[in-house]
Amino acid sequence: MRAQARIDLGAIERNAARLAEVAGPAALCAVVKGDGYGHGMVPAARAARAGGATWLAVATAGEARGLREAGIEGPVLVMGALAPAELEVALAARADVVAWREAFVAGLPPGTRVHVKLDTGMGRLGTRDPDEANRVAARVADGHRLVGAMTHFATADDDPAFLAEQLARFTPWAEALKAAHPDLLVHAANSAATLREPAACFDLVRCGIAVYGMDPFHEDPAAHGLEPALSLVSYVAEAKTAAPGQSAGYGRRFIAAEPTCVGTLPIGYADGVRRGLTNNADVLVGGRRVPLIGTVSMDNVTVDLGAAGGAAVGEEAVLIGRQGDERILAEEVARRLDTINYEVTCGISARVPRVYER
C-alpha cells in the first residue's frame, strides 16, 4: 500500500488510563473531535472508553451524530457553537450542549442537558461576565438540566502565570454555582492543565492531544508516560542513482553534489505531508535516518539514500513513528514546520487508510 496511518489502539487505551490516574478523582473526558485528531474518531473513542474515559467531547453536532450512529453510548459533550440546524442534530444525538447567552437557552427544548461557559481568558466562546453566566445557569436550571460549569485555558502548555490568572477567575464562580447545584460537574483542564496543575482538574478533565500519545508541551510524550499511537508509513517505490548535477523533484530544489541514490516514496501533500518539509525532514529507511530531499509534491517525495544505496525497492519508509532504534515524533515534524503536533496528525488526509492494531 502506498501509504498507511497505523493506529495502535492499545496505546490510546493506555494513555487514557494514565490520564485518568493523573486526574483522579476527577473523571476523564476524551476529546475525539477532528476525527480523533486524525486517528479515527470512532475507534479512538472506543479505545479511550476502554482505558477509563467516561465522557467524550466533540466540536460539532455531526461528530456527536457519528458517535451515536456507531453505537457509542455514554455522555457526549458538543463544545462548539451551534446554529439552529446544528442544534437539532446535536439534540437528536442526545448530546450535551454549551450555553453562555440567555437567548440561546430560550430556544432549547425542555430537559436539554447544558453546560454553562465562562470565558476566563481564551477570548472565544463564553461570556466574560460571571453575572451573565449566573443568569444563564439560572435559566437553564428552570426547565432544563444544568449539568456543567466550564472554561477553557489559553496557555496551559506555555504560560503557567496566565493559567493561574484564569483559574483565579474561574474557581470562585464555579464553586459558588456548585454550592447552589451540588450535582454540577465543574471542568476546565485540557491535556496540558491536567498534567501541569492539579488544582485545575475539578470534577472532570477534557483531554485531547495526550489521549493520542502526543505531548501537549510539544517536547517528548515519554516524559509524561504517554505512548504515540500513530505511525505514518510509505515505501520505497523506486531507487535510482544520481550523478553530480542531476536533480530530484519540481523546481530542482535538490541537485546532487556527489554520486548518491535517490529513493522515491509514493506519498505527498495530498496525503498530508506538508510542502514545508521540502529539504526539511528525515525519514526512516532500513532503521536509519535519511534526509527528505527536493520538493514535496502532491503524490511523491524523494529521499537521499546515500552513495551506497542501502534500500531495496519495496522497503518500508517511516515518516512518523519508530523503526529499529530510531524514531520520528509528530513533535519533531511540527518543529520543522513551525507548527504544533495537533496540526501534523489532523492534517493526514482521508486518502491515507487508517489501519488499526494493538
Tally the C-alpha atoms within 13 A of residue 170's C-alpha that lie toward its C-beta: 27
Give the integer Cα–Cα distance in Å for 232 and 344.
Answer: 11
Give the integer Cα–Cα distance in Å for 130 and 116.
Answer: 11
DSSP string, 7-42: EEHHHHHHHHHHHHHHHTTSEEEEE-HHHHHTT-HH
Q: Of 33, 37, 117, 212, which is the active-site residue?
A: 33
Strand partners of residue 55: 29
Using alpha carbons, list the distances in angstroms from residue 331 to 221, 311, 340.
Answer: 9, 26, 7
DSSP string, 187-225: E---HHHHHH-GGG-TTEEEE-GGGGT--TTSS-GGGGT
Contacts of 69 by beta carbon, 8 Å cutoff, 6+ apart: none
Contacts of 215 by beta carbon, 8 Å cutoff, 6+ apart: 209, 221, 223, 224, 226, 331, 341
Run of H or E residues at 245: none
Q: Of 178, 240, 250, 356, which is the active-site residue?
A: 250
Q: Is 240 a catalytic residue?
A: no
Helices (H), 51-94: 61-69, 84-92
Q: Is 117 a catalytic residue?
A: no
Give the integer Cα–Cα distance in Å for 285 and 195.
Answer: 34
Active site residues: 33, 250
